[in-house]
Amino acid sequence: MIETIVTRPIDGQKPGTSGLRKKTRVFQEPGYLENFVQSIWNGIGGVQGKLLVLGGDGRFFNDQAVQIILRMAAASGAARVIVGQNGLLSTPAASHLIRARGADGGVILSASHNPGGPEGDFGVKFNTANGGPAPERVTEAIFRATTELEEYRILRAPDLDLGELGIHRLHETEVEIVDPVADYAALMERLFDFDAIRALFASGFRMRFDAMHAITGPYARAILETRLGAPAGSVINATPLPDFGGGHPDPNPVWAHELMALMTGPEAPDFGAASDGDGDRNMIVGRGQYVTPSDSLAVIAANAHLVPGYAGGLKGVARSMPSSAALDRVAEALGIACYATPTGWKFFGNLLDAGRATLCGEESAGTGSDHIREKDGLWAVLMWLNILAAREQSVAEVMADHWARFRRNYYSRHDYEEVDSGAATTLVEELRAGLDRLAGARLGVLRVRTAEDFSYSDPVDGSVTTKQGIQIHFVEDARLVLRLSGTGTAGATLRVYLERVVAGPEGLAEDPQAALAEVIAAAEELCMFKTRFGRAAPDVVT
């Protein structure tokens, strides 16, 4: 029986950088999830007769949310919903399923790398028929729908057994439960030289993949261990847990510190990697050699021709504006376009769809290509494995060659987390108001060349997105970017991005924080973080 429940708009259901993210207990409040899901349906013109994909990263509340969304899809007349077994799908696998099955869109349940559990975070994201995160015009329509909502529709029915593969029926909707790994693994096999990677492992090459108790575990096991022959145990923390084992599933040196300790210690294997809560982020680390996400993107672009799926060359590349410009010099050498977009994967969608970019990436550990419309953690790992197999070099050797050829962009991000929202907004507003006076000014020993508030005109659809971060270029080939996070669930998070390019073949092996000291000092002089936020130092340095 379909029930129509009278409701009222709930404040604050505005999708951010990547869908709607809130504390789990907020999503568990009566009607909260239902209101948002009905608003998605309303915002996209209903789901009557449509084909949808549904799954999540398995965090706490994932299973219940899947049941609710299925009943709401059925109540609104969806023709079919394809669901990952037990409600699980990594974000990249969901993007691929939407595309491969010609779905009208999909709902992905995840708060990415944010901790899960009753006290953690939950999130809901809608992806469109191209497999990518809904673009701004769609998220705006969804948000508008949340502010006008008067009722939602839901089927009264018992829970489905999400463990049982095959076709089930929910009222007039077919629910197809699929193996979450199979299609994705087949896609990877088409893109990469599995024989070469298999031979690499057979020759004694050793890796450690830390799935961080999150969704990539089953994917990594099936691909790295079963199909590619990495020794059993190469993938660790491989069982997805609702609270990610109490951890923070963000693949960076801070949160993946155990892996970092291993890779810098005496027992280090040849290669280390990690992925995040929903499987779209990655961390790459060689023996004694961490690779920043911006460098990883540049290396992948410079070596993509060695990988079968990209042997035909790259159409272009794209990076988020705060990501380092290491990619730009590779693009220049290859003679291809390089786009700088606002933060958030949704801005790459048009470039990928229009065939203007083949590879994209963000400094926040997101790398991907036009094989799907999301960033893809395991894909980046396979890219590296394929490149290492083809070049017959270690990660450290690949990096040394790369920097010698393209120069090195030292890069770091300093995050001030959960600071007072008012203080953070005031800082950004003051910076914005003072931009004109900054050009030519000195900040510490550095001289400002240009200062702007980044805005982006999409070359494909002409849409303009403003206020995407304060960007300051220094005469000394350095750059400072400041922006407020759009994914936090408490207070405000200020992100400070620091970059400096070394001039010549010297100084390629410095400690990044030391190499960036003058840019860090310039940022402190400009923003006075200590006085404003009462913080002696940033909370997270990556």
- Just list the catalytic residues: 112
Please name the residue that has the structure tokens 């550990």: 365
Question: Is 70 or 496 the residue whose CB approaches ligand G1P more closely?
Answer: 496
Minimum distance of ligand G1P from residue 204's CB (angstroms): 35
Residue 139 interacts with ligand G1P (CB under 6 A): yes or no:
no
Q: What, of ligand G1P, Zn ion, none, does residue 486 touch, CB below 5 to 8 Å by kind?
A: ligand G1P
Minimum distance of ligand G1P from residue 344's CB (angstroms): 5
Question: Using CA atoms, how far apart are residues 520 and 536, in angstroms rounded to an integer?
Answer: 13
Counting residues that bind ligand G1P (by CB under 6 A) gives: 14
- Angstrom CA distances, 201 to 207, 277, 471, stand at 9, 26, 44
Per-residue contact string for residues 318-357; x = within reach of ligand G1P by CB under 6 A: --x----------------------xxx------------
Question: Using CA atoms, how far apart are residues 373 and 349, in angstroms rounded to an integer?
Answer: 6
- Give me 69's structure tokens: 């969304």
Minimum distance of ligand G1P from residue 7's CB (angstroms): 29
Per-residue contact string for residues 77-116; x = within reach of Zn ion by CB under 5 A: -----------------------------------x----
Q: What, of ligand G1P, Zn ion, none, does residue 276 touch, CB below 5 to 8 Å by kind?
A: Zn ion
Which one among 121, 276, 328, 499 touches Zn ion, defined by CB under 5 A? Answer: 276
Q: Rounded to the nearest 5°, which phi and psi values hold at 21?
A: -120, 130
Strand pairing category for 409-419 and 492-501: antiparallel
Write the single-letter amino acid at 443. L
Q: Rounded to the nearest 5°, which phi and psi values hold at 143?
A: -60, -45
Minimum distance of Zn ion from residue 337's CB (angstroms): 27
Residue 17 interacts with ligand G1P (CB under 6 A): yes or no:
yes
Segment interacting with Zn ion, rule: CB under 5 A, options 241-249, 265-273, 274-282, 480-488: 274-282
Question: Using CA atoms, how far apart are residues 42 and 337, in angstroms rounded to an integer?
Answer: 38
Residue 485 interacts with ligand G1P (CB under 6 A): yes or no:
yes
- Angstrom CA distances, 371 to 132, 216, 220, stand at 11, 18, 18
Strand partners, 53: 82, 106
Question: Using CA atoms, how far apart are residues 133 and 422, in angstroms rounded to an integer?
Answer: 29
3-state DSSP of 32-68? HHHHHHHHHHHHCCCCCCCEEEEEECCCCCHHHHHHH
Residue 465 interacts with ligand G1P (CB under 6 A): yes or no:
no
- Give me 404's structure tokens: 């010698």
Residue 280 interacts with Zn ion (CB under 5 A): yes or no:
yes
Write the single-letter amino acid at 316. G
What is the CA angle 344-347-352, rounded to 5?
125
Minimum distance of Zn ion from residue 57's CB (angstroms): 8
Residue 489 interacts with Zn ion (CB under 5 A): yes or no:
no
Question: Is 320 or 409 the residue whose CB approaches ligand G1P more closely?
Answer: 320
Question: Is 345 or 416 the residue whose CB approaches ligand G1P more closely?
Answer: 345
Spatial neighbors of 267 by CB under 8 A, at least 6 apart, are none
Residue 487 interacts with ligand G1P (CB under 6 A): yes or no:
yes
Residues that bind ligand G1P (CB under 6 A): 17-18, 112, 320, 343-345, 362, 364, 366, 485-487, 495
Residues that bind Zn ion (CB under 5 A): 112, 276, 278, 280-281
